[in-house]
Every structure is written in structure tokens, then in C-alpha cells.
């Protein structure tokens, strides 16, 4: 079961040049986390290992972003995106995440791997209104239609700008 943590407004920053690394199995359960992950989340290794990665999910994150993440990595491609994460104490930290599928020597999927860096302040300023629009669309829609409503908002923004999702996130 996922613990319920009350989010606070206290922001934490990933130090410049540091990377948060984690690995999951094919179902998204954490199989490895580096020291920086433990430090910034405040969770112990024992608290993280075997848990779903949504243990650090922040309620300000639109579901549509995670839908896109899973759709992308399940298609064998790499996902890049800005993620607001929840700490054990309710605080938060933003990352620019890269998530990729991992394969064994026989080419079989064994899990997923994620490396996260500190995002620029300018990128966060641009992405936050996008996420707010996606969240608003999710809240206005029925549970069943929330994801498509959210993805449509993102798609509409990309079409207006005339860019792909990756072009968008890498030029923020
Ligand atoms: C390798 C990997 C890393 C992930 N890292 C995060 C993360 O840092 N924060 C997060 O909220 N979700 C992360 N996810 C996505 C979660 O698995 C999950 O889809 C997301 O938290 C939404 O959870 P929910 O569907 O229960 O709302 C990651 C997934 C994978 C495969």
C-alpha cells in the first residue's frame, strides 16, 4: 500500500551535476536507488525497494504525463520529462527525467532505468502552466476520460507550437 503523505510547500533542490538514479522491474517496482535518491526523498533503501515508483508521486503531477511515460517506454523508446516528486516529509523536488527500457543479453525486457537531473528554473516556469492545464482537464473530466482529456491538452499545446513532445521538452 502507498503511504499517504501530506504535501507541503517546502521545495528541495537537486544539486547541480548530481543525478538521481533508480531502476525498476517491468512492473515499475523499485529494484535500485542511488544514494542521492535516498538523500533527496528522505526514504531509506528498505522503504523504497520493492515499492511502486509512485511512492514519490506528487499530486500536482498530471496523470497524462505518466501515461505518456509508460506508453513511450513500453514502446521501447526513451521518455524525457519534467517531474515534480514528493519527499517522505511532504516536501517536493523537481527533476528532468530520462526513462529507458533495460534489456538483458537475449534482448528481453528486464525493467526500466531512470536518470534525473536538476531542471533549469526557466524550464520549470514554462512547464508548470502546461501541467496545470492538464490537471484542470483531468479534474473536469470523468475518471474514464481524464487521461485522454489531459493528453489532448498537451497535444494541443504541441500542435500550436508546431513541435514534437521531445522537441518541446528539450527546448524549454
Ligand atoms: C524507471 C521509472 C522511474 C519512474 N520514476 C518516477 C518518479 O520519479 N516519480 C513518479 O511520480 N513516477 C515515476 N515513475 C512512474 C510511476 O511508475 C507511476 O506511473 C507514477 O508515479 C504515477 O503513479 P499512479 O499511476 O499510481 O498515479 C517511474 C517509472 C519508471 C518505469
Residue 12 lies in a domain: no
159 occurs within a structural domain: yes
Within a domain: 37: yes
Binding-site residues, ligand 1, Cβ < 6 A? 22, 24, 28, 53-54, 56-57, 61, 66, 69-70, 83, 85, 99, 112-114
Give mean pLDDT, residues 119-148. 97
In a domain, 99, yes or no: yes
The dihedral formed by the CA atoms of 104, 110, 115 and 116, expressed in degrees to the nearest 10:
170
Q: Which domain, by its residues, includes 141?
A: 20-170
| Residue 11 placed within a domain | no
Q: Does some domain include residue 1?
A: no
Question: Is the Cβ–Cβ distance between 165 and 154 less than 8 Å?
Answer: yes
9 is a domain residue: no
Distance 151 CA to ligand 1 centre (A): 17
pLDDT (tens digit, 9 = 90+) per residue, 64-96? 999 999 999 999 999 999 999 999 999 999 999
CB atoms within 10 A of CB 138: 20
For residue 49, give every residue at least 6 positions away whose Cβ sits within 8 Å of its Cβ, in sequence order, or none: 30, 31, 32, 33
Does the reported pTM lie above 0.75?
A: yes
4 occurs within a structural domain: no
Give the CATH number, domain containing residue 26.
3.30.450.20
Domain count, the chain: 1
Amino acid at each position: 500500500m502507498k503511504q499517504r503523505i501530506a504535501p507541503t510547500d517546502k521545495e528541495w533542490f537537486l544539486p547541480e551535476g548530481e543525478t538521481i538514479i533508480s531502476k525498476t522491474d517491468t512492473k515499475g517496482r523499485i529494484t535500485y536507488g542511488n544514494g542521492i535518491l535516498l538523500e533527496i526523498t528522505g526514504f531509506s533503501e528498505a522503504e523504497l525497494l520493492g515499492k511502486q515508483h509512485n511512492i514519490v508521486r506528487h499530486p500536482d503531477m498530471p496523470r497524462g504525463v505518466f501515461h505518456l511515460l509508460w506508453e513511450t517506454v513500453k514502446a521501447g523508446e526513451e521518455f524525457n520529462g519534467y517531474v515534480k516528486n514528493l519527499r517522505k516529509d511532504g516536501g517536493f523536488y523537481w527533476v528532468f527525467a530520462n526513462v529507458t527500457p533495460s534489456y538483458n543479453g537475449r534482448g528481453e525486457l528486464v525493467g526500466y532505468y531512470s536518470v534525473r537531473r536538476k531542471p533549469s528554473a526557466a524550464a520549470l516556469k514554462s512547464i508548470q502552466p502546461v501541467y496545470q492545464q492538464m490537471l484542470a482537464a483531468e479534474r473536469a473530466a470523468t475518471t474514464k476520460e481524464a487521461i485522454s482529456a489531459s493528453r489532448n491538452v498537451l497535444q494541443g499545446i504541441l500542435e500550436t507550437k508546431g513541435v514534437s513532445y521531445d522537441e518541446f521538452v528539450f527546448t524549454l
